[in-house]
């Protein structure tokens, strides 16, 4: 039974879930508890360090992650960098989602140009290094 633990600010799309199942053998997706999800989505930007805020995430991962489980780690750059190393220390596999972005420009009758970005999931990739 292979899990993907979601240390991730968004919800997975159906396409992402299918990719994880087909290409990585994932059969279970584990979301953060609500209180951790809220913190992961908005790390305090005023603080010089966020290391104390990462301790509950480490405790959660110690409880639920097993060797070779995938952990999707995406969010605040500093938190992501730190947690990738921690995930590796547990023997789990840190991954991130890649997307293709298509920008569409729409010119209104008033001459205003609006840009819209469409993101399409491509794959999950291991953090190298």
**Interval 70-95 mean pLDDT:** 97
Q: Which fold has domain 2-126?
A: Rossmann fold (3.40.50)
Contact predicate 70/93, CB 8 Å: yes
Contact predicate 4/61, CB 8 Å: no
Structural domain boundaries of the chain?
A: 2-126
**Interval 81-94 mean pLDDT:** 97
| pLDDT of 111 strictly over 90 | no
| pLDDT of 48 strictly over 90 | yes
Contact predicate 72/93, CB 8 Å: no
**Interval 76-83 mean pLDDT:** 96
Q: Supply the mean pLDDT for the chain.
A: 92
pLDDT band at 92 (very low <50, low <70, confident <90, very high): very high
User: What is the DSSP secondary structure assignment for residue 66, as one 8-state letter?
Assistant: -
What pLDDT is stored for residue 5 in this prediction?
A: 98
Distance CA 26, CA 106 (A): 39
Residue 43: strand, helix, or coil: coil
pTM for the full model?
0.84
| pLDDT of 35 strictly over 90 | yes
| pLDDT of 119 strictly over 80 | no
């Amino acid at each position: 039974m292979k899990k993907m633990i979601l240390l991730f600010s968004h919800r997975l799309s159906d396409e992402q879930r299918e990719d994880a199942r087909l290409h990585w053998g994932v059969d279970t997706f584990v979301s953060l508890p609500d209180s951790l999800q809220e913190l992961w989505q908005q790390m305090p930007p005023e603080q010089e360090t966020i290391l104390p805020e990462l301790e509950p995430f480490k405790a959660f991962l110690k409880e639920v992650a097993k060797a070779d489980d995938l952990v999707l780690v995406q969010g605040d750059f500093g938190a992501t960098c730190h947690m990738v190393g921690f995930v590796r220390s547990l023997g789990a596999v840190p991954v991130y989602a890649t997307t293709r972005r298509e920008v569409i420009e729409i010119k209104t009758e008033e001459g205003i140009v609006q840009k819209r970005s469409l993101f399409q999931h491509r794959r999950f990739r291991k953090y190298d290094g």
